[in-house]
Amino acid sequence: MWFRNLLVYRLTQDVPFDTEALEKALAAKPARPCASQELATYGFVAPFGKGEDAPLVHVSQGFLLISARKEERILPGSVVKDAVKEKVDEIENEQMRKVYKKERDQIKDEIVQAFLPRAFIRKSATFAAIAPAQGLIIVNASSPKRAEDLLSTLREAIGSLPVRPLTVKIAPSATMTDWVKAQKAADDFHVLDECELRDTHEDGGIVRCKRQDLTGEEVQLHMTSGKQVTQLSLAWQDKLSFVLDDKLVVKRLKFEDLLQEQAEQDGGDDDLGQQDASFTLMMLTLIEFLPALFEALGGEDTPQGL
Give the residue-averaged pLDDT of 262-288: 89
pLDDT band at residue 243 under the 50/70/90 scheme: very high
pLDDT tens-digit series, residues 114-168: 887 778 888 999 999 999 999 999 999 999 999 999 999 999 999 999 999 999 9
Please, are residues 4 and 17 in contact by the beta-carbon 8 Å criterion? no
Q: How far apart are CA 253 and CA 236, in angstroms?
A: 11
Lowest mean pLDDT among 24-38, 129-143, 183-197, 198-212: 198-212
Q: How far apart are CA 267 and CA 301, in angstroms?
A: 37
Summary mean pLDDT of the chain: 90
Backbone φ/ψ region at 299: left (φ over 0), alpha (ψ -120 to 50), beta: left
pLDDT band at residue 213 under the 50/70/90 scheme: confident
DSSP secondary structure string for all residues of 23-59: HHHHHTSB--PPPTT-SEEEEEE-SS--STTS-SSEE
Q: How far apart are CA 219 and CA 221, in angstroms?
A: 5
Give the residue-averaged pLDDT of 91-96: 88
Q: How far apart are CA 278 and CA 42, in angstroms?
A: 26
Give φ, ψ of 243 to 5 degrees. Answer: -115, 125
pLDDT value of residue 305: 53
pLDDT of 268 strictly over 80: no
Higher pLDDT residue, 37 or 23?
23
Q: How far apart are CA 37 and CA 98, in angstroms?
A: 30
Backbone φ/ψ region at 276: left (φ over 0), alpha (ψ -120 to 50), beta: alpha
pLDDT of 306 strictly over 60: no
Higher pLDDT residue, 201 or 123?
123
pLDDT value of residue 304: 61
pLDDT of 290 strictly over 80: yes
pLDDT value of residue 36: 80
Higher pLDDT residue, 212 or 253?
253
pLDDT value of residue 194: 92
Specify the DSSP element, H or E, that contains 287. helix 271-296
